[in-house]
Amino acid sequence: MQQLVEFIGNHPVLATLWVVLAIFLLYSYVETLISPLKQISTQEATQLINKEDAVILDIRNQADFKKGHILGARQIGQEAVTKADFTKLENEKNKPIIVVCAMGISAKRTATQLLKAGFAKVSVLKGGMNTWQGEGLPIKK
């Protein structure tokens, strides 16, 4: 314990950075646990698609969508995403919706907007299309 106090006294900047990083890590972990938005693996996504007829919402641009997308995916334009205009999906409010982007990062924002718009079961494909293709899962061109 005495060595810890001595280290903190000799290196206050490093000690402060360590505490800040620990707080950020804890915050991220707790936020993931309590968030209604879930990130799902490709295996979980295929189960949702096959068993619960999940809707795949691809938010990538049209050119990337045409290069290859998950079978049955619907492409939504960036303009609709920016305006949170999900009127095309009104009939699907009670179905699971899987939001897909290139790497699974930008899909979180869209998924959060969908939750706010009243969609019940929204999730994000972890790793996006890169993971889907990397695992050799089927795509349509």
The 3 state secondary structure assigned to 12-80 is HHHHHHHHHHHHHHHHHHHHHHHCCCEEECHHHHHHHHHHHCCEEEECCCHHHHHHCEECCCEECCHHH
Q: Which two tokens stand for residue 98?
A: 């899987």
* Domain boundary assignment for the chain: 2-33, 37-140
> What does the pLDDT read at residue 92?
86
Q: At 77, is the pLDDT very low, low, confident or very high (cuts 50, 70, 90)?
A: confident
Which entry of 48, 49, 100, 101 is annotated as an active-site residue?
Answer: 101
Correct CATH for 37-140 of 1.25.40.10, 3.40.250.10, 3.30.9.10, 3.90.470.20: 3.40.250.10
Among the listed residues 48, 71, 54, the one whose alpha carbon sits nearest the alpha carbon of residue 129: 71
Helix (H) or strand (E) holding 121: strand 121-125
Q: How far is CA 109 from CA 17, 90, 97, 125, 127, in A?
A: 29, 19, 14, 13, 15
| pTM exceeds 0.85 | no
The whole-number average pLDDT for the span 29-42 is 84
Per the rule left: phi > 0, alpha: psi between -120 and 50, beta: everything else, 32 is alpha
Q: For the chain, how far is it from start to end, CA to CA, in angstroms?
A: 62
- Report pLDDT digits (tens) over 11-28: 999 999 999 999 999 998
User: Is 47 one of the catalytic residues?
Assistant: no
